[in-house]
Structure 1
């Protein structure tokens, strides 16, 4: 036969009196402290994000491929447009890949805008080590 108490919640364990010491009261929650810690974490992450963007991200140098033509076993002509600051220069990395995805050419090309202009449209001939399938501009950075 089991003993049941009228004050014990169903499913709660029943301990013999005096055997296990005094039971602690549940801890007080501190929602304000949790909110302040979360806010501090978000502020630190925001500062780190801004610093990394300033160091590595530069929206002033943007490149896009217009077309790639003149594909032979040894070359591909890549027409591309680069956006730079007014009258700026950029170094762009161009790559050609074969049909199976292997890199068959990689070159750095320096392009310069005329004073007062921000867009440079140019064509570059990539000499390849195999038949290319595509010509790409990987990235551009300040010269």
Structure 2
């Protein structure tokens, strides 16, 4: 049995481009990835501050249907001391369809109050059977 030695191939000059020895690091893709991750974290923090856990916590107390075109929703909202809350109220019919919606600003009267009790009417397109709060946020 004979032993054969292999040699590196010899390519014609200029035909196949430059041959690289070693490995280049992909600097540009790593920088782009770092920028995308940083932007994603920044956007996530901003959205969490706006819509995440909030000090504005609403709770339904009850509702009344005084007529076919109005529903009165009673609710409380926990807020930081002396702040106002902007709440979106919704009236739904027996099938769960939304028949009325209203945005209201409540509170701000007492500088030490952390709970606001409110009773607000919502105009409806037909008789509503359920009232609820979509959400509350700081009032501008």
Equivalent residues in 2 for 1:86-101 (5 A)? Answer: 86-101=81-96
Runs of 4+ in 1 over 3 A off after TM superposition: 40-48
Equivalent residues in 2 for 1:3-82 (5 A)? Answer: 46-54=41-49, 56-57=50-51, 59-66=54-61, 68-74=62-68, 75-82=70-77
Mapped partners of 2:46, 2:105: distance in 1: 27
SS of equivalent to 1:115: coil
Residue 102 of structure 2 is aligned to residue 107 of structure 1: yes
Mapped partners of 1:81, 1:92: distance in 2: 10
Distance 1:124 1:43, change over 3 A: same
Instruction: Select the residue among 103, 118, 125 that pairs with 1:122.
Output: 118
CA RMSD of aligned residues (A): 3.7
Residue 136 of structure 2 is aligned to residue 142 of structure 1: no
Distance 1:44 1:81, change over 3 A: same
Q: Which deviations, in whole Å up to 9, do the C-alpha atoms of 1:53-111 show, x marking residues without a partner?
A: 12x22612221112x33224422221111112211111111110111222211111110
Mapped partners of 2:106, 2:133: distance in 1: 13
TM-score, normalised by the number of residues in structure 1: 0.61
SS of equivalent to 2:71: strand
Q: Which runs of 5+ in 1 are unaligned?
A: 1-39
Query: How many residues are matched?
Result: 128
Question: Does the 8 Å CA contact 1:95/1:105 hold for their aligned counterparts?
Answer: yes
Question: Does the 8 Å CA contact 1:95/1:136 hold for their aligned counterparts?
Answer: yes
TM-score, normalised by the number of residues in structure 2: 0.62
The alpha carbon displacement at 1:44 in A equals 6.8
